């Protein structure tokens, strides 16, 4: 169900023709993915905090 009243935290790393999207596993945050993103040279890398985790707001009820 779409909603617009929540904040989803994300970061962008690197540059390249291809974009990789890294999603953290259950309970993890973008902070854990940052080290991997920095090693993926030659790619544009997007990392997210899922709703209710890290710096993303929780999903509305």
Helix (H, G, I), strand (E, B) or coil at 36: helix
pTM given for the model: 0.78
Does residue 3 fall inside a structural domain?
no
Question: What pLDDT, on a 0 to 100 scale, did the predictor assign at position 25?
Answer: 81
Distances in Å between the Cα of 53 and the Cα atoms of 24, 28, 48, 50 are 10, 7, 10, 6
Other beta carbons less than 10 A from residue 16's beta carbon: 12
Distance CA 53, CA 41 (A): 27
Structural domains of the chain, count: 1
Q: Which residue has the tokens 């993303």?
A: 56
Does residue 23 fall inside a structural domain?
yes
Does residue 54 fall inside a structural domain?
no
pLDDT (tens place) for every residue of the chain, 61 residues total? 455 667 889 999 999 999 999 988 877 888 888 999 999 999 999 999 888 888 888 766 6
Question: What pLDDT, on a 0 to 100 scale, did the predictor assign at position 5?
Answer: 67
Does residue 60 fall inside a structural domain?
no
Question: What pLDDT, on a 0 to 100 scale, did the predictor assign at position 26?
Answer: 76
- What is the residue range of 33's domain? 10-48
Question: What pLDDT, on a 0 to 100 scale, did the predictor assign at position 53?
Answer: 80
């Amino acid at each position: 169900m779409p909603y617009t009243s929540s904040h989803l935290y994300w970061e962008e790393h690197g540059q390249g023709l291809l974009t990789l999207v890294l999603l953290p596993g259950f309970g993890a945050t973008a902070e854990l993915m940052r080290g991997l993103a920095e090693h993926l040279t030659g790619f544009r890398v997007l990392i997210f905090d899922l709703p209710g985790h890290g710096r993303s707001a929780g999903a509305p009820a």
